A and B are shown apart, each in its own frame.
Chain A
Amino acid sequence: MPQNAKPPVKLSLPLEYQQDIFNEIRSEDELLVLARGLGLIRVVTNLLHSYDAAGNNLIIVVGADERENGWIGEALAEHAAISRSPMAQGLSQVNTDAMTVGMREKMYSQGGIFSITSRILVVDLLSKLLNPETITGLVVLHAERIVATSIEAFIIRIYRQMNKAGFLKAFSDNPEPFTTGFSPLATMMRNLFLRKPSLWPRFHVTVAKSLEGRKKAEVIELEVPMSDNMKDIQNAILECVEVSISELRKAGTGIELDDWTLDSALHRTFDVIIRRQLDPMWHRVSYRTRQIVNDLTVLRSILHALLTFDAVSFNKYLDTILAAHQPPPGSNRQNQSPWLFLDSANTIFETAKRRVYTGKPIEGGAPTASETILDSLRPVLEEQPKWAVIAEVLDEIERDAYFNPVSHDDSNGTILMMCSDQSTCRQLREYLQNMHIRPLKLDESIDVDRDDDSDSKPSAKFMMRKKLRNYLDWKKDFARVSASLFTENQKALNGYTDQSGATGYKGKGPPNKRRRVRGGSAAAAGGGRSVNSTLQIAEEKASQVATLMAEIQPTDADAVQKDEVTVDSLENMEDFYELYEMQDLVVIHPYDGDQDEHILEEVRPRYVIMYEPDAAFIRRVEVYRSSHDNRNIRVYFMYYGGSVEEQRYLSTVRKEKDAFTRLIKERAVITSMSFQDGPPSNAVQSMSITMGTEGLVSDPQEHFLRTINTRIAGGGRLAATAEPPRVVVDVREFRSSLPSLLHGNSMVVIPCMLTVGDYVISPNICIERKSVRDLISSFKSGRLFAQAETMLQHYKSPMLLIEFDQNKAFTLDPFADAHSSTSSLSTAQNPSDLQSKLVLLTLAFPRLKVIWSSSPYETAKIFEELKKLQEEPDPVKAVQVGLVAGEEPGDQSFNQTPQEMLRAVPGVTGKNYQRLTLEVGTLQEVANMTEEELDPLVGKEAGRQVWKFFNRSLFED
């Protein structure tokens, strides 16, 4: 690959398929889709290095996230050091607004490799701060995320329009998104302005040959059965899911889940599927439907937590969920989530509790029964089945290492343990630390089910007892917290029932009462848990808790151990693994995408334990093993049989394979149609032919063109006018697709930092764009009111643009609440819906015009229409508008989230809020201020409110 007259380039691509890919992508512009885990980033860094070493380049990396930036930078520096290339400059990053225009301009002029946040890049390209013609090439990562209206597609379009010579290479290691929709690959290629896809699945011949040769990694699969309790809970959750879904069906939202089986719940992100189906009409569905969809998300997280959390944490999590599902004040009790009323919900909560402690009489039953021994609580503390397996595996490794001492091997005997996230890491670390500590050796008399096993058997008993102690402590606090939150709710609720009692219907007879009548005794037991459950939680008999506490009191042995549980997990390792060398460690790490390659390379483990399955990681191990002749590796791979985890693993493997198969088929079709449009310049033109072609098209070629229908409208009118129409766009608006479409609609888009409005299309017309979702939230926060106010101050014709999504229903009328709108008096008193807020807004600002647009495409056309016969806007003036004298435009750029959070604090009003953001740096600082400090900024009363909001302690009431 290093061609003549180029400085030597040393690459780090040991495997054959990697070299093939590199040579191919180096010589041609194409879209590379590589199976996950086969080292995509490595190909990218090598490619970048080969350009970097050559020097005199301006190469832009698009779409890299923070972590990838870090890695690419590191890898480039490393490569440069190895190949001693004097020209290499390494990676420069442009990723915050903090970098001034001047600084950026200087950097660009120096050349090199840049990774630039898309939002900044597009602005720089449009403002010619970075002249597209000077760019040597564009490297696009995460190509799967690029849709026609995305900002990256916009970047590529600008680049290709101005620069036909530079290279353009796109990368992805996520084939699934390429297969949704109609002829998706072709669409994607259009968006990328590329013509050749290059597909490298795991079953590619070269890949298979490279990985399945002599140096195969040894993989041992361990199927761990779930405990009976876990199975019960899983089944109960699935039942709840099923009921929730049938409830959704009943609501008549037209959800299609024909193939719905319990099994599919196991291996699919069912809540996401449903959300996606409802998305087109999300702003119209009723509160209840929305609530059930949220419930599904909650249920799925419980399903996940069941496998990953230990029994105590799981129970704690359930307590939190239960308390969070208390009915909000002002709502009637029918708003409870339906799954909480099910018997299975009861099963979930009861079984989860039984995994922690037992011996309590059944709730709701008569407590008059004798206060026997049965009545006292005693700990159960079920352990996660995988823990025991881990202990066994470690034992086996230990023996293995003893009998086969390290010989002519480059790996260093470390055990690498991989799991899904940090909290699991923490759990495992704690387990490994404590598994050989025996609690209660002194007072075994209390321990009812004392284990007769020898001390050698590791167990999590010590750890679990500690957790239980913490849990009981926490619960006391928690009861208080929810009590102090709940009493308020209760008051509001009572207020509500009084009110509705006066009007004379609804809200009477709490549903759990009715349930009891209908459902009989079984439901009664369930109902006890549901409605007033917080109270129930708090109501664990004090005496019982006391005995439980006494039972698990730290013994002397415990007390001795207690202090050493600290962050340093490796402190005492030598005690347990004396046979090992000093350098031998157990390293626990969460899966972290491509970063895992690094870990393998650095740790050079001889043994890997995969606590949870991860398809990509297995491949990484394969790649790692094949890349190094002299490093043996053995992988233990464990999963719960018949669980979500197993299904998820299997389905990801299958889905990826299917995706590649489909892609390969589609590629065959595409190449047979042979991209007749010639050089890339034509591609730019052809994208504009679309949009008008409605109706059925049978001609395959036209058909093909139509697939880019989601493209820009009306580029056909490139007719030469004296001056192209201009639109001044706020830089923050580049997150949306509208600027891209305006550009595609042959308007000149001028990015500016605007203080007032989002778009200025003439000296008089200023437009604030709101999607329906934004509209709801900015009505709620009062932001829209303030924005409308300032627009009116500065412009003659301010406009509010309400923009619907392309695929979403073009209406505000909610389905389910349609009938209630006939009795509009109630709604008139309770101005909560969008319509009434809109009415209030227009009444408050009669001069504010409202534009309704069914999609961003339509908006672009409307803008064009509005601009007719109007003067062109002046960007300099537009920027100045709304600025207080002496202010720089950049001073007005805020971080949205903390700003909104501050607005939500009681006591903060439209007036003092400005002051606060000016004088105080961060939300944290506001939270830590005293009343006296707040007083001069916001006033006494408001200051007190703000202070109280942050400082009110929920532990005391």
Chain B
Amino acid sequence: QALPNRAAPSSILVSSRQKGNPILNAVRSLPWEYSDIPADFVLGNTTCAFFLSLKYHRLHPEYIYTRIRALGGKYNLRVLLTMVDIQNHEDPLKELSKTSLVNNLTLILCWSAQEAGRYLELYKSYEHAPATSIRAHQSTSYSEKLQEFITIPRSINKTDALGLVSAFGSIKHAVNARPEEIGTIAGWGEKKVQRWCQSVREPFRVRK
């Protein structure tokens, strides 16, 4: 991947072909400008996007292929932003899935002009963003982490989590608690007790 170039334009580049496209009205928080580019949008040094409405695609099925051909092998991430605006979307989507594989495109679906605009903004504004937020857990405070930890086994909810720690004082004790002890907490029925105890006691790996 190319090194991020700080001098790169901070605006989204839009091909003049897209003049009048309503999704441009939905791009509000970032500047955009027309430019002479082979793709519809340029969203960063290595990222570009085509926009395709399925309605249009149904009438002119060859259009997108000529555009892709014109682009050649440029750009690292090539987004095919597709607006689902027809009811029978199954067949065209099947076809586009295949196309994306053959032509190295990343298919992104949207259902409204707002959403499309939002995707453009997101791609541009995340151009240099690190992927930390999808890399690991994001809970911040202790209580939040605690709640998240306890509520992972199915059917255990917030109230149960609070009941559990208030009965045992710490997670360690809650983990070590016997099923009968947990069963005395209000709201903890047999199923929940069993799920909790099983989750903390069953081995991480099925076989060792």
Contacts and interface: CB of A to CB of B under 8 A. Distances in A.
Interface in B92-137: 93-95, 97-98, 100-101, 104-112, 114-115, 117-119, 121-123, 125-127, 129, 131, 133-137
Contact of A898 (B77, B108, B200): B200
A901 B149 contact: yes
Contact of B189 (A317, A329, A423, A799): A423
B169 interface: yes
A916 B205 CA distance: 11
B170 interface: yes
A949 B167 CA distance: 17
Interface string A50-70: 000000000000000000000
A602 to B, nearest CB: 21
B133 A837 contact: yes
B161 interface: yes
B18 interface: no
Interface stretch (B7-15, B31-39, B180-188): B180-188
Nearest to B180: A567
B145 interface: yes
Contact of A858 (B28, B46, B90, B101): B90
A317 B186 contact: yes
Interface in B73-90: 76-79, 84, 89-90
A423 B191 CA distance: 12
B138 A780 contact: yes
Nearest to B137: A904
Interface in A423-447: 423, 426
B136 A848 contact: no
A922 B133 CA distance: 27
A301 B145 contact: no
A909 interface: yes
Contacts of A481: 162, 165-166, 169
Contact of A489 (B141, B184, B201): B141
B26 interface: yes
Contacts of A88: none
Given A324-B158, A780-B138, A898 B199 contact: yes
A313 B163 CA distance: 12
Contacts of B104: 847
A862 interface: yes
A474 B98 contact: no
Contacts of B137: 780-782, 903-904, 906
Q: Which of B29, B100, B195, B205 has the most CB of A within 10 A?
A: B205
A927 B175 contact: yes
A843 B203 contact: no
B70 interface: no
B172 A950 contact: yes
B172 A927 contact: yes
A329 B142 CA distance: 11
Given A478-B166, A924-B201, A836 B114 contact: no
Nearest to B186: A317
B142 A485 contact: yes
A842 B100 CA distance: 13
A98 interface: yes
B70 to A, nearest CB: 20
A813 B186 contact: no
B165 A840 contact: no
Interface string A831-842: 100011111111
B107 A812 contact: no
Contact of B46 (A812, A846, A906): A846
B172 A951 contact: yes
B148 A904 contact: yes
Interface in A854-874: 854, 858, 861-862, 865-866, 868
A922 B101 contact: no
Contact of A895 (B154, B161, B202): B202
A813 B112 contact: yes
A822 B118 CA distance: 8
B108 A897 contact: no
A557 interface: no
A317 B74 CA distance: 62
**At the interface, is chain A mostly helix, strand, loop or mixed?**
helix
Given A828-B121, A951-B172, A851 B107 contact: yes
Given A329-B141, A481-B166, A898-B204, A862 B97 contact: yes
A478 B165 CA distance: 9
B144 interface: yes
Contacts of B134: 779, 782, 784-785, 837, 840-841, 844
Interface stretch (A27-35, A159-167, A886-894): A886-894
B206 interface: yes
A781 B79 CA distance: 25
Contact of B111 (A301, A765, A812, A849): A812
Contacts of A98: 206-207
A477 interface: yes
B143 interface: yes
A877 interface: no
B175 A949 contact: no
Contacts of A949: 142, 145-146, 149, 171
Nearest to A323: B162
A96 B141 CA distance: 38
A321 B145 CA distance: 19
Interface string A596-614: 0000000000000000000
Nearest to A855: B90
A422 B190 contact: yes
Interface residues of A, number: 116
Nearest to B96: A852
A275 B113 CA distance: 29
A419 to B, nearest CB: 13
A824 B121 contact: yes
Interface in B14-67: 26, 28-29, 46-47
A821 B121 CA distance: 11
A852 to B, nearest CB: 5
Q: Which of A309, A314, A810, A954 has the most CB of B within 10 A?
A: A954
Given A785-B131, A898-B199, A824 B122 contact: yes
A326 B75 CA distance: 48
B204 A921 contact: yes
Contacts of A902: 204
B166 A898 contact: no
B133 A840 contact: yes
A953 interface: yes
Nearest to B115: A813
Given A482-B166, A849-B100, A921 B183 contact: no
B97 A422 contact: no
Given A309-B186, A821-B115, A928-B176, A954 B170 contact: yes
A813 B46 CA distance: 27
A835 B169 contact: no
Contacts of B139: 904, 906
A842 B166 contact: no
Nearest to B158: A324
30 contacts: A97-B207, A297-B157, A325-B158, A329-B144, A474-B167, A481-B165, A485-B146, A782-B137, A785-B134, A810-B89, A811-B111, A824-B29, A839-B126, A840-B126, A840-B129, A844-B131, A847-B104, A849-B105, A850-B106, A897-B153, A897-B198, A904-B145, A904-B149, A917-B205, A922-B203, A922-B204, A923-B200, A927-B176, A950-B171, A955-B170
Closest 8 CB pairs of A and B: A317-B186, A846-B77, A485-B143, A917-B204, A782-B136, A324-B159, A927-B175, A950-B172
Interface of A: 96-98, 294, 297-298, 301, 305, 309, 313-314, 316-317, 320-321, 323-325, 328-330, 421-423, 426, 474, 477-478, 481-482, 485-486, 488-489, 492, 765, 779-782, 784-785, 797, 799, 810-813, 818, 821-825, 827-828, 831, 835-844, 846-854, 858, 861-862, 865-866, 868, 890-891, 893-895, 897-906, 909-910, 916-918, 920-924, 927-928, 949-955
Given A485-B142, A904-B139, 5 more contacts: A324-B159, A330-B140, A422-B189, A893-B206, A917-B204
